[in-house]
Amino acid sequence: MNSADVLSLCKRRGFIWPAYEIYGGIAGLYDYGPMGAAMKNNIVHVWRKAYTLGEGFVEIDADTIGPEIVFKASGHLDKFSDALVSCVKCKTPYRADHLLKEHHPNPASLSHGDMDDLIQKVGVVCMECGGEISKVEDFNLMFKTMIGPGAIGRTGYLRPETAQGMFYNFNSLHRHMREKLPFGVIQIGRGYRNEISPRQGVIRLREFNMMEAELFIDPKDKTWPRFDAIKQDQIRLVPNEPGDTELSVTLEEALKKGIIANEVLAYFVGFTQRFLVTVGVDPERLRFRQHLKTEMAHYAADCWDAEALLSFGWTEIVGIADRGCWDLSRHIEFSNVEMNGFRRYDEPVEVEKEVLKPKYGMLGPQFKAKSSAVGKALEAADPKLIEDGGITVQVDGAPMIIEAKYFDVARVKEKVSGEKFVPHVIEPSHGLDRIMYTCLEHAYTEKEDKEGKYLVMRLAPLSAPIKLGIFPLMGKDELAKPAMELDAEFRANEVATSYDDSGSIGRRYARMDEVGTPYCVTVDYQTLEDDTVTIRDRDSTAQVRVKRSILLKTVVDLLNGKRSFADLKG
C-alpha cells in the first residue's frame, strides 16, 4: 500500500479532491467531498464531545483574520519569518542566520541590514558553487492581507493557528468561567500557512483544519482530577534524552520516572491516545515523541507529539505542548492589559509593611497640577529607595526627586487573601486533516479475490460517513418496500444510511466496504415470513439474523461500541 493508492480511493469515492481541479489545481489546497466532509464532521463530533461534555471545556469561535499586533505578540511575525538569501549564480536558497552562525553569537537577532553588512564583511559565498550571496529578503509563512480599503486599511494576517483567539480572549473567558482555574477552552477551525513546498497529499496544506484546546492552569498545581482513571493506560514514548530509546510504559510510570514533566501533561497524552484510537488510528502505528530542545517552538516549554506511522514515515498528528505563561505574558506586554489568575490563600495573611504617606496639604501648593500624580507615585513607591532624605519617583514618565518633608513613613498592617499570577497553558493541538488521513490510511485494507484487488476501508464506526447500508435482496416491490421503511426509520433516528437496490448483493456489499460502512442490513424472503433481517459485518463479512423489533437498538449499540458483533452471534 502507498499513499497514491489511498489518495486514488479518496478521490474516486468522494473523500478528498484536489481543489480547483478544472483550473489545474493549486498545490497544498484540497477539498473534502461528500464522504470526507461527513467523516470530518464525525471526528470533530467525537473530539468536541470528549472535551466539552467529558472534561468541561467550553468552545469559542474566533476570527481567522487578525491585525498585525496580535501576531507580533504571538511571535509569529518574527519567528515565522525566515531571513532568506540566495546564491546570485545558482539560486540555492539559504537562511541568512544559518550562514552567519560561525560569525556571530546570535545572528537571528541582527537586522536585515546588519546581516547584509556581515555577509559582505566576512565574505560568505555559496556553498554549492562559490557564487555571490544576494541581499536578505523576508519570507513569512503567514498570508498577508489588508483589513479595510486603500489608505485607511490596516495590515492583517490570516491566523496560522486558532490558539491566539483563546489567548486574547482570556479575560472574557476567565470571567465567564467565574474566575476559577483551571479551565479549558477549545476551538475548531481553519488556519493558514503559505508553505514553501506543500507535499504529501493532505499532510502539509496551505489551508488546514485544526482542533485546539487551551487549558489554563495554576503553574503551582499541574495535576488533573481524572488522572487516576487512565493512569494504567500503556503508552509508547520516545523521550528526547540522548541515549533514550522508545519505551512502552503506563502513564503512571512515565510520570513517576519524570519522563513526562507533570500530571496534567501526562493526562492529556493519555486522553489524546484514547481519542485517536476511538476515531480509528491504529494503536500499533501510534507513538508519542518528545520534542528535541532544538525543535521546540518559540512558545513551548515542553512538547509531546502524537505521531502516526504513515506511508510517508512517522508523522506528527497532534502536538501537546506546555506553553508555560509565554502567550499570555506576551499579550499582557503588547496590549497593556492585565491577565491574571488569582490564588486564594487558605487563610488571609496579615502583612506588616512600611509605606509612604504623602502630605497632600504640602504637595498641592508646591506641585500644583502635578500634585495628584506625585502623590500617587509616592503611595506606590518602596520606602527602601529613600536616599539622603528624599526619593526619586517616576511622574508622567520623568524622574522627580521629592524631599522627605513632603511625606511620612508609616507602618501599616494589610490583609492579603491571595496572590495574582499569569496562568500556564497546556495545549493539545490537533491537525484534523492529518488525523483524517491517518484514519483513512490505517483503515485501508487490500484483499485478493477473483476480480483482483478488493478494497475494504476499516473505518471506526464513529468516523464512518455512512453507518449502515440497507438493501432489499432483490429489487422487487415486496422486498423493496419493507427495506425502504427500515431506511426511513434509521434516518429518523440519526443513523446515516445508504439504501441500494441496484445490481447483485455482492456488489452492493463491496461498494459499502470501499467507503468504510461498518454494517449492512438486508431484507430477504425470510423477512416476509418471520420479520427478521440479516446484519452483515464489514470486517468479518459474517452475518447474523435479528428480529426487526430490536434491530434499531442493536445497530445503535454496535455503532457506539456497546456491543460487539461477535456477541450477537452467541
Residues 166-185 that bind RNA (CB under 7 A): none
Q: With left for phi above 0 and alpha for psi between -120 and 50, is residue 241 left, alpha or beta? A: beta
Of 174 and 323, CB closest to RNA: 323
Site for RNA contains 3 (CB under 7 A): yes
What number of residues does the chain have?
570
What is the grid cell recorded at 227? 488522572
Of 153 and 503, CB closest to RNA: 503
What is the grid cell recorded at 403? 524631599
DSSP output for 366-388: HHGGGHHHHHHHHHHS-GGG-BT
Site for RNA contains 445 (CB under 7 A): no
Site for RNA contains 413 (CB under 7 A): no
Of 94 and 490, CB closest to RNA: 94
Which residue in 64, 278, 340, 543 binds RNA (CB under 7 A)? 543
Q: How far is the CB of 279 from RNA (least distance, A)?
A: 17
Q: How far is the CB of 161 from RNA (least distance, A)?
A: 6
Give the helix ranges, DSSP H, for 368-504: 371-380, 432-443, 477-492
| Closest by Cα among 456, 439, 12 to 202 | 439
What residues numbered 502-531 form the site for RNA, per CB under 7 A?
A: 502-507, 509-511, 514, 522, 524-525
Q: How far is the CB of 509 from RNA (least distance, A)?
A: 4
Which residue in 49, 72, 91, 176 binds RNA (CB under 7 A)? 91
| Strand-by-strand arrangement of the 183-192 sheet | 58-59, 183-192, 207-217, 424-431, 313-324, 302-310, 286-290, 234-238, 247-250
Question: What kind and span of H or E run contains 527?
Answer: helix 525-530
Rounded Cα distance, 266 and 257, in Å: 12
Q: How far is the CB of 306 from RNA (least distance, A)?
A: 10
Site for RNA contains 4 (CB under 7 A): yes
Q: How far is the CB of 29 from RNA (least distance, A)?
A: 8
Determine phi and psi for 279, rounding to 5 degrees: -85, -5
Q: How far is the CB of 495 from RNA (least distance, A)?
A: 19
Site for RNA contains 34 (CB under 7 A): no
Tell me the site size for RNA, rule CB under 7 A.
72
Of 38 and 203, CB closest to RNA: 203
Site for RNA contains 438 (CB under 7 A): no
CA dist 72 → 163, 274, 385, 445 (Å):
14, 36, 35, 47
**Helix 551-560 × helix 477-492 angle, to 10°:** 50
Site for RNA contains 273 (CB under 7 A): no
Question: What kind and span of H or E run contains 140?
Answer: strand 137-140
What residues numbered 447-476 form the site for RNA, per CB under 7 A?
A: 449-451, 453-455, 473-476
Site for RNA contains 93 (CB under 7 A): yes
Q: How far is the CB of 319 from RNA (least distance, A)?
A: 4
Site for RNA contains 26 (CB under 7 A): yes
Site for RNA contains 541 (CB under 7 A): yes
Of 463 and 522, CB closest to RNA: 522
Site for RNA contains 12 (CB under 7 A): yes
Site for RNA contains 108 (CB under 7 A): no
Rounded Cα distance, 344 and 220, in Å: 12
* Residue 343 neighbours by CB under 8 Å, 6+ apart: 218, 220, 418, 419, 420, 421
Rounded Cα distance, 87 and 93, in Å: 7
∠ Cα 151 193 42 (to 5°): 120
CA dist 332 → 74, 297, 435 (Å):
11, 20, 34
Site for RNA contains 28 (CB under 7 A): yes
Rounded Cα distance, 15 and 200, in Å: 16
Of 26 and 37, CB closest to RNA: 26
Stretch that binds RNA, among 3-11, 151-159, 350-358, 407-415 (CB under 7 A): 3-11
What residues numbered 122-161 form the site for RNA, per CB under 7 A?
A: 141, 160-161
Site for RNA contains 307 (CB under 7 A): no
What residues numbered 174-233 form the site for RNA, per CB under 7 A?
A: 191, 195-201, 204, 208, 210
Q: How far is the CB of 295 from RNA (least distance, A)?
A: 6
Q: How far is the CB of 256 from RNA (least distance, A)?
A: 27
* Residue 510 neighbours by CB under 8 Å, 6+ apart: 454
What residues numbered 317-336 form the site for RNA, per CB under 7 A?
A: 319
Site string for RNA, 44-83 (x = CB under 7 A): -----------------------------------xx-x-
Are 75 and 112 in contact by the 8 Å Cβ rule? The answer is no
3 state SS for 298-340? CCCCEEEEEEEEECCEEEEEEEEEEEECHHHHHHHHHHCCCCC
Which residue in 468, 534, 554, 558 binds RNA (CB under 7 A)? 534
